[in-house]
Amino acid sequence: METNRANKPRPLITGIKPIRLPLPIHLDLYKLWSRRIVAKGMANIGCGLYYLFNESGELQYVGQSAHIKGRIMTHLKRADMDFTYVTILKVRDESLWDKIEREAIEHFLPPFNKRYNGGYHSRPSGLK
């Protein structure tokens, strides 16, 4: 960095505005919510990742499955898991599933994921 007459740092490259990159879809809650469908009565979806939302639009769970419809039907039978909507991300490359799921869970901290956020309803220290 150079300094100007007032001894304030000045960037070496001028005239370039910072670019704000969009979030990838698996970390963009607005895009995920906008792609939601009603969980009950959904058609056979296939494989990939899924995001479960309650009636209020709060993310409850992030998961992955080779047979998403069957996995979601299993979740619907659980009494402690309240969700109404699901968003499906079709990711054909299974080698990416764990990475994408982990990133989403660490980013959103859904209350019913315990694999990557340390337990039900847990939050890192310092967050409320």
As a whole number of angstroms, the distance between CA 29 and CA 50 comes to 13
* pLDDT for the residue numbered 121: 47
As a whole number of angstroms, the distance between CA 19 and CA 37 comes to 33
* pLDDT for the residue numbered 126: 42
* pLDDT for the residue numbered 20: 60
CA 23 to chain centroid: 10
* pLDDT for the residue numbered 128: 39
Q: Running along the chain, 128 residues long, what does each successive block of 10 average in pLDDT?
A: 54 54 77 77 77 90 89 83 86 88 91 70 43
pLDDT per position as a tens digit, 40-62 = 666 667 788 999 998 888 999 99
Nearest C-alpha neighbor of 40 from the set 79, 1, 78, 86 = 86
* pLDDT for the residue numbered 123: 45
Length of the chain in residues, anyone? 128
Q: In terms of pTM, does the model score above 0.95?
A: no
Are 107 and 87 spatial neighbours (Cβ–Cβ below 8 Å)?
no
As a whole number of angstroms, the distance between CA 86 and CA 60 comes to 10
Q: Which domains, and CATH codes, for the chain? A: 26-108 (3.40.1440.10)
Are 83 and 33 spatial neighbours (Cβ–Cβ below 8 Å)?
no
As a whole number of angstroms, the distance between CA 1 and CA 118 comes to 43
* pLDDT for the residue numbered 28: 83
* pLDDT for the residue numbered 124: 44
